[in-house]
Amino acid sequence: METLWDRRYAQRTQRMASSVIRELLKLTEQPDIISFAGGLPSPDVFPVDDFKAACDRVLSTSGKQALQYSTTEGYQPLREMIARHTARYGINIGPDNVLITSGSQQALDLIGKVFINPGDHVLTEAPTYLGALQAWNAYGAEYVTVPLDDDGMDTDALEMVLRTGPKFIYALPNFHNPAGVTMSLERRRRLIELADRYGVPIIEDDPYGQLRYEGEHLPSLVALDSQFREETGGSYRGNVIYLSTFSKILAPGLRLAWVIAPQEVIRKLVQAKQGADLNTAVFTQMVAHEVSRGGFLDRHIWLIRRIYGERRNIMLEAMEQYFPSQVSWTHPKGGLFLWGTMPEGWDSADVMKVAVEKKRVAFVPGGSFFPLGGGKNTMRLNFSNASDEKIREGIQRLGEILHELVETTQK
């Protein structure tokens, strides 16, 4: 039935058309499907009992505060905790540099609202995080891209693209979503140097930084930027806005994330957030603070690392065993995802359809992650959500499909 609203959509609404991925993901919700398609943490690692105790304590001691409206900036003790945590890495910030958001998705949305004029060019990696594109398309962003390889963003290609004058750089240096790669220290330094030379600021999106399963922690872009000039002595330069989240280290159901930014940027983001949702639920902020206190978070991250690291190993071993040699994949040192590349000319969306129909196994076709198109022969696989057995079983099934396709195309 037509209503008066139907012809009144804004132009930007055309750019928000429901993604192919979302339609595909609906297929994967049937219970008999083994899905590597989502980006869900494993519910096995949710500290449910700790949450129960924390809810009880928060409501018993501060129930009236927890259920009332609150400040847009976020719950002050949580901002202080994040500032202290950030300072561990030699970045000299205070709670006034921290904004609590309703998930990192809201941080991306507010950044789009505050910085992007229609037609502005945002520099992203290709592939890049789909949620950022979803957020920024609504503000009329256009994109310029730099390719990735096993060492992350290709900084040789970067300089040429920086000359086109993008508004800002969007980078995911650790355990990239979707590509599963990590930017080398050398390239991180080069990125900071080039960004400085061309005067282009950086958004560093780091949801998985603490979920490393091998190798040593590399300094974040925000830390490197702070150390860039010796005379600053590691204080916060402010040219990198840093995003992270409780979704992957505690629980995504809280919808809690944070932004580290210069105070003036925080002020603008706060104004935008006032109009977007007034404030993030203070109850969940207080519960997250209560759960995290006393070293719990460090211990809990250690547990998550062990479980996800094991699942990554199982997936990699199964791929080694079951995938045809014509398919290659990344070896992620952390995070939630790995990235497969099928032979040129294959369409992973078609493979996905066959895989779901014939073998009840799902992944995300990689094409949607490329802002300017391409990547049709790529796929993203999540290894955090399914159980060890399901991972083996699912990769075996997917391998069967891929072997069949290799044979068909060789005929």
Report 116-135 residues binding its own copies (CB under 8 A). 116-117, 120, 131, 134-135
Check binding of 33 to its own copies (CB under 8 A): no
- Residue with Cβ nearer its own copies (157 or 270): 270
- Cβ of residue 163: shortest distance to its own copies, in angstroms? 16
Distance CA 389, CA 135 (A): 35
Tell me: does residue 160 bind its own copies (CB under 8 A).
no
State which of positions 83-112 bind its own copies (CB under 8 A): 102-103, 105-106, 108-109
Applying CB under 8 A, which of residues 121, 267, 390, 403 lies at the interface with its own copies? 267
CB of residue 59 vs its own copies: minimum separation in angstroms?
5
Q: Does 30 bind its own copies (CB under 8 A)?
A: no
**Which H or E run includes 401?**
helix 388-410
Which residues, in sequence order, are CB contacts of 232 under 8 Å at separation 6+?
226
Residue 301 is which amino acid? I
Using an 8 Å Cβ cutoff, are 287 and 55 in contact?
yes
Applying CB under 8 A, which part among 44-52, 335-343, 361-369, 401-409 lies near its own copies?
44-52
Can you tell me whether residue 247 is helix, strand or coil? coil
Angle, vertex CA 337, rays to CA 184 and CA 352, nearest 5: 135
Pick the binder of its own copies from 20, 27, 33, 40 (CB under 8 A).
40
Binding mask 177-216 for its own copies (x = CB under 8 A): ----------------------xxx---------------
Within 57-86, the residues that bind its own copies by CB under 8 A are 59-60, 63-70
∠ CA 214-219-224, rounded to 5°: 160
Tokens 């994040």 -> residue:
82
Contact call for residue 349 and its own copies (CB under 8 A) = no
Binding residue (CB under 8 A) for its own copies from 80, 277, 310, 404: 277
Place of tokens 């009144």: 8
Among 268, 376, 390, 403, binds its own copies (CB under 8 A): 268
Longest CA–CA span in the chain (Å) reads 71
Check if the beta carbon of residue 168 is closer than 8 Å to that of residue 123.
Answer: yes
CB of 214 to its own copies, least distance (A): 27
Number of residues near its own copies (by CB under 8 A): 87
* Structure tokens belonging to residue 290: 């209560």
The least CB distance from residue 142 to its own copies, in Å, is 14
Least distance CB 13 / its own copies (angstroms): 5
Kindly indicate which of the ranges 77-85, 144-152, 269-277, 358-366 contains the residues binding its own copies, using the contact rule CB under 8 A.
269-277
CA distance 196 to 56: 48
The window from 37-45, 153-161, 172-180, 326-334 that contacts its own copies (CB under 8 A) reads 37-45
Report 283-342 residues binding its own copies (CB under 8 A). 283-284
The helix (run of H) or strand (run of E) holding residue 132 is helix 130-137
**Two tokens at 263?**
């105070």
Residues 6+ apart with CB under 8 A from 123: 143, 144, 145, 146, 158, 161, 162, 166, 168, 169, 170, 200
Task: Transcribe 174-218 into DSSP letters.
Answer: SS-TTT-----HHHHHHHHHHHHHHT--EEEE-SSTT-B-SSPPP
Shorter beta-carbon distance to its own copies: residue 68 or 409: 68
How near is the Cβ of 137 to its own copies at its closest, in Å? 7
Is 255 a binding residue for its own copies by CB under 8 A? The answer is: yes
Using CB under 8 A as the binding rule, whether residue 344 contacts its own copies is answered as no
Query: Which lies closer to its own copies via its Cβ, residue 140 or residue 374?
Result: 140
CA distance 150 to 153: 9
Both tokens assigned to 207 = 């949801």
Decide: is 264 part of the binding site for its own copies (CB under 8 A): yes
